[in-house]
Structure formats: C-alpha cells, structure tokens
Structure 1
Amino acid sequence: MNQLQSMRVFVKVADLGSFVRAAGALDLSTAVVTRHVADLEARLGTRLLNRTTRRLSLTESGTTYLERVRHILDDLEGVEQMVVARNHEPVGTLRIVAPVVFGLHSLAPVVQSYAERYPDVMPDVTLADRHVDLVEEGFDVGILVARQMRSASIVTRRLTTGYMTVCATPAYLQQHGTPTCPEDLLTHPCLSRPAEQGGDEKVFTGPRGEVRVRPTNAIAANNTEMLRQFALLGMGVAILPSYLIGRDLASGRLVPLLGDYHLPQIEITIAYPSRLHLPAKVRTFIDHLVAHFQRTDDHARDPRATMPRRAVAGSPAYADDLPVSALLGDTTRPKRQATRSGTVASSTI
C-alpha cells in the first residue's frame, strides 16, 4: 500500500480514536483503514496502537511516530497549498470576527480598502466581546485585543500595539483640578470596566518606578465606548485605549493626563484556523491587514502623525480630518517610552 496514504490514515485513526470513525471521515471502508495501519506497523516492525474491544490507545512508539508524521504531513500539505494557491484568485465570503469597540473604530477602513482591491470577496464582519472558537463557528479570521488563544490549530500573528490613556474633558479638569501622579486618581471619580474585566487596580510605570493604585469608580461599564461617552460628558477621569479616543485627544475634546506615567500596552493580533489549505481570500486579507497596521505603526512613530491638522498645515483641527492610522499609536507619552511592552487581561477593550 501507499506509505504516505497509510501515514495519513494512521493520523486520522489516532485523532478520532476509532477505525470506524476514521473510515467514515476518509470515505474508506473499515477494512481498508485497518489494513493501512497494519501494513504501517509491519513496515516499522512495531505496534503503534493498542487495540481492545472497547477502545484504542497509542503505544509509546505510536505517540512518537504520530508527532513526527504529523509534522511531515503538515509540511507536505503546506508546500502543495502554496503552489496551488498561486493559481487561485480570492473569491467568496470572508468571515471576520473582532471585538466590538476595536471593530467599530479601527477595522472598517481596512475592510473597505480590501473590498475595493478584491471585489469578488464579500467580507462578512461579526463584532463580539466573548470567547470565539474560530473553527467551530466557521470564522476565517479573528482579531484579538489583549487576549491569548491557546490552540494547536490556531495561528496568531501580531498586528500592532495600543496604549491605555488616562484622560478627562477640559471642563472637568477646570472644575476638579488636574491629576499629576497616579495617586491623585484616588481623589477623582473614575470611569472603568468592572474589576473582573480588567478594572480595579491600575499599574503605572514612571519616574518613581512601578506605582499601583485602586481608583474609586464613579460608574462601571463593560463596554469602553460607553465609558468614552461618560468621559465626554465630564463624569470623571477615564482610562481608555488609544484606538478609541485618538480623535478625541487630537481635537481637544479629551485631555491626556499623567504624561510621565504609562500603563501596560495592548497587544492586538490576528488569528486564523491553520496555515494549511489557506484560501486565497484569507491569505490576501491577512497580508492586507498586516500591511495596513504596519503603515499604522510607521505613522505613529512620526511625531507629526498625531498632531491636529492645524499644527501641521495651518488649517482648522477637525477630528475627522485625521486618518485612523494616526490614532492607534501612543499619542500621550514621551517618545522614550514608546518601546516598553506589556499586556492587559481584558478582551472587551
């Protein structure tokens, strides 16, 4: 029998734990599946599976062989897919999932430019602040904000980094005073997520090293867009992600505070089910997404990028004049702090 096919059959049997289920998945008879595994064992001169009337289990040799064979088959399929993909144009429905706030404020321009470039692909975007199983729910691509996805079948790739910014309205600061250090937040009403979603204690890094404070919430909300609205109404001091309030900071609606201190960064990544058999629509969208956020990072490193238009060109500073790519970077902290790294725990920011 074909050795490569026997290897594929063995992997399927091991994954499903049954000759019968493997036969169904491969559209083969149970006898043929059994023969493939038996021929493989005969070729190797060792037993790979322990068989009883009730269950199958891998032998020690079978466990080692399975791990190595899986890598061989993955590499082979990857090479074949790479060659085949060159002859396939992006087409069909592209299912994308992203957190609500990030999707509303930062994803639309990327999807719009991709749709213009690849008109035969129809983006289907879902916004959700919950754990998403990409494979089970049939998504092609997922955007993760400050979240880790642990799965052998999921591939993740860094897109960019956001920043948490302490801010308030000019009117609020005029009435209540301006905080100059993290401890000052204890005397101000704060706007934050509930503790179980990353609120409560805040860890700042600044001239005095690490400073931990537990601000008193004036109001809590599980959605940062709602917290932004509260902040714009002057209800207190808010701690919000840069991609959400970039235009507010640029226009002066919100004022950045505690410029000598910074909070952990927000890692933003892209996830997709597998490198194998990656459809052209997924591959091209990933490339497009990565290129977009690379331009974002480059733009954010330009000190002119986050300046209001009035400061750059002498014209009025309208928030909507600023490109989205100017709003993801750190608009509040000195340049020397821009390379510090860290993550936050919440997935709803």
Structure 2
Amino acid sequence: MDNLQNLRAFRRVVESTSFTRAAETLDISPGSVSKLIAALEQHLGTRLLARSTRRMSLTEAGRIYYAHCVRILDELDHAERAVQQLVDVPRGTLRVSVPTSFGILWLSGRLPAFLRQFPEIRLDVVASDQYVDLVEGGFDLALRISRKLQDSSMVAKPLGEIPHVVVASPAYFKSAGKPRAPDELVRHNCLVYSQSQMPGEWAFGEGKSAVVVPVQGNYQCNNSVMLRAALLDGIGMTQTPLPVVEDLLKSRQLVTCLDDYRPPPHRIFAMLPQQRAVSPKVRAFIDFMAEQLGARIKK
C-alpha cells in the first residue's frame, strides 16, 4: 500500500481533531478523509482513532503510530526542502561557447562579476567563431551574434541588440578621405570579417531604406581582434560590432564614418539544446547577460 497520502490525512485529523478541518487543509472532501483513514486502519489491521458522537481520541496503537507518522513526514519535508534548495541554487560547471572577439573584448571584463555573484558556479568558457554542436561538445549554451539566425535545432533566446559601426583610423581618412555615402565605399580599402553572413557586402539602414553595397580590400580575416591592428595601422576601414572597437573610439584611435547610414544592428542570442529544461545555472547566466546588455545596448 502506498500510504503517504493516508499518513498525511491521519496526521491532519489528529492535529485538527476534526475530519472536516483536516479535509479543508488537504483540499479534499471529509468523505475522502474518512476513506483514507479507513484504508490505513484496514492496512494496519487495527483501529487508530476511537470515535463517538461527541469526541474523537487516539487508541493506544494510534498514539504509537502518530508519533512515528510525525517523524516520517517531518523527515520527508526536510528532505524535499534540502533537494529543492540544491535545485534552486545555481551551482556546478557551466560550459559556454562564445564568439572570440566579443568574448575577449566585451564579455571577459564582465565575467568576474558573474563569478562573484554566483560563487558555486564553475565557469568553462570556450571562445570560438565556429558553430559548435552543443550536445556533442558538452555545452550548456552558446552565445551567437547575428543579423538573422540560420535554421537550427537549438532553442534561441534573444538577449539584446549590438550596434555596428564603420570605422578607420584618422590617418586612413586623412589619406583616403571619408566616404559621404555607402556607394563611395567602392573607392576604399575595406577590411572584411570573413565569418559574417555576407563577407563581401555591407548593409546600411533597415526596411525600405536598406542599402547593400559590395566591398573589397586587400585583407580579410575570420577574427575581428586581428582586424584591429590593421585598422590602427591605417591600412583600411571596416564594418564591425561596436563592442569590438568601443575602447579605440573612446581614445580617438579610431573614428566612425557614414553615421547617417547606420548599419542594421545584430542581435545576440543564447542558444540552448532542444527539449532540455533550463537549469538554475543556465538561467543565472542568461539573466546576467540580459542585464549587462540592457545596461548599455538596447534590447
């Protein structure tokens, strides 16, 4: 007999001294409480409660059984709270795949705050611009930055938007001039991030006002950090996520152009495996990222 419900009903009846009041706390009918007690007594082969028209009392067997019943139910409640606390607290190893340049230049400076906030999480970050297989690689989630996500079997949770800018060094603009419109890029040495969805095309604006122009130059690379060195040396110009060059813009080592023709922002997503419950450690990281992005990047 699976009598956990019977035990709870018996305890409530004893402590409330009423089948009706016990039924109210258990959210069942008084008749159901009576059936549970009767089934328990039948299972034990003895009466637990002595009932009369005026009062109800415990039999000797009932007193013994009640004492054990309280101990068992209290231990069970303690066990459930202990497990729930384990489940609710973010802890354990969190393995995350992040884009290389974004991870180095923007995320790395913020992760110490995450580790201080969640000291029971062991963070394992893999910086890569390749689209990893989350399940095969043992990843809990991946961050992806894209204008439009490719079809995927993963679950995508949007975290925010990342502006893009067109930049070069003051020395480059002094020698080559600043383009005043996107169509003038044909005369410029455009450094290309080869991992973008459209490496040889730069987009400006959105909707009906969107413009896409072909670009070319003498240097392309699959890593935005490496392009920074060429930009600082005055080799050419590039279109890049703002976090990649924000520090260089603040120090005036790089400057923007075509500010009236804003490139469409890219969105940043947390990619999760399909059909997997979101654990507290993953939820903590997603919430942290959304908070950090919302503090400075429009969501």
TM-score above 0.5:
yes
TM-score (norm 1): 0.56
User: Is residue 2:205 matched to residue 1:224?
Assistant: no
Aligned to 2:98: 98
1:3-33 Cα offsets, whole Å, 9 max, x none, are xxxxxxxxxxxxxxxxxxxxxxxxxxxxxxx
Aligned to 1:238: 238
Please give the alpha-carbon distance, in whole angstroms, between the structure 1 residues aligned to 2:117 and 2:150.
Answer: 30
Deviation at 1:150, TM superposition (A): 4.0
Please give the alpha-carbon distance, in whole angstroms, between the structure 2 residues aligned to 1:127 and 1:196.
Answer: 16
Aligned to 1:110: 110
State the superposition RMSD in angstroms: 2.7
Aligned to 1:142: 142
Please give the alpha-carbon distance, in whole angstroms, between the structure 1 residues aligned to 2:213 and 2:87.
Answer: 57
- Give the secondary structure class of the aligned counterpart of 1:217: coil
**Aligned positions of 1:157-172 closer than 5 A:** 157-172=157-172
The 1:155/1:86 distance shift into structure 2, 3 A limit, reads: farther
The 1:87/1:175 distance shift into structure 2, 3 A limit, reads: closer
Larger Rg: 2
The 1:148/1:211 distance shift into structure 2, 3 A limit, reads: closer
1:242-290 Cα offsets, whole Å, 9 max, x none, are 1101111121111100111022221111122257443322222222222
**Aligned positions of 1:208-223 closer than 5 A:** 209-223=209-223
Please give the alpha-carbon distance, in whole angstroms, between the structure 2 residues aligned to 1:296 and 1:220.
Answer: 29
Contact 2:192 2:216 in 1 (8 A): no
The 1:236/1:203 distance shift into structure 2, 3 A limit, reads: same
2:178 is matched by which residue type in structure 1? T
> Identity across aligned pairs (percent)?
31
**Aligned positions of 1:238-257 closer than 5 A:** 238-257=238-257
Contact 1:204 1:212 in 2 (8 A): yes
Aligned to 2:192: 192
Deviation at 1:88, TM superposition (A): 3.5
Please give the alpha-carbon distance, in whole angstroms, between the structure 1 residues aligned to 2:200 and 2:164.
Answer: 14
In structure 1, runs of 5+ residues without a counterpart are 1-82, 299-328, 330-349
Contact 2:200 2:215 in 1 (8 A): yes
Contact 2:129 2:195 in 1 (8 A): no
Aligned to 1:282: 282
Contact 1:228 1:240 in 2 (8 A): no
Deviation at 1:110, TM superposition (A): 3.3
Deviation at 1:156, TM superposition (A): 1.7
Please give the alpha-carbon distance, in whole angstroms, between the structure 2 residues aligned to 1:93 and 1:86.
Answer: 14
User: Is residue 2:126 matched to residue 1:126?
Assistant: yes
User: Is residue 2:156 matched to residue 1:156?
Assistant: yes
Alignment size in residue pairs: 216
- Give the secondary structure class of the aligned counterpart of 1:213: strand
1:122 is matched by which residue type in structure 2? R
Please give the alpha-carbon distance, in whole angstroms, between the structure 2 residues aligned to 1:131 and 1:195.
Answer: 11
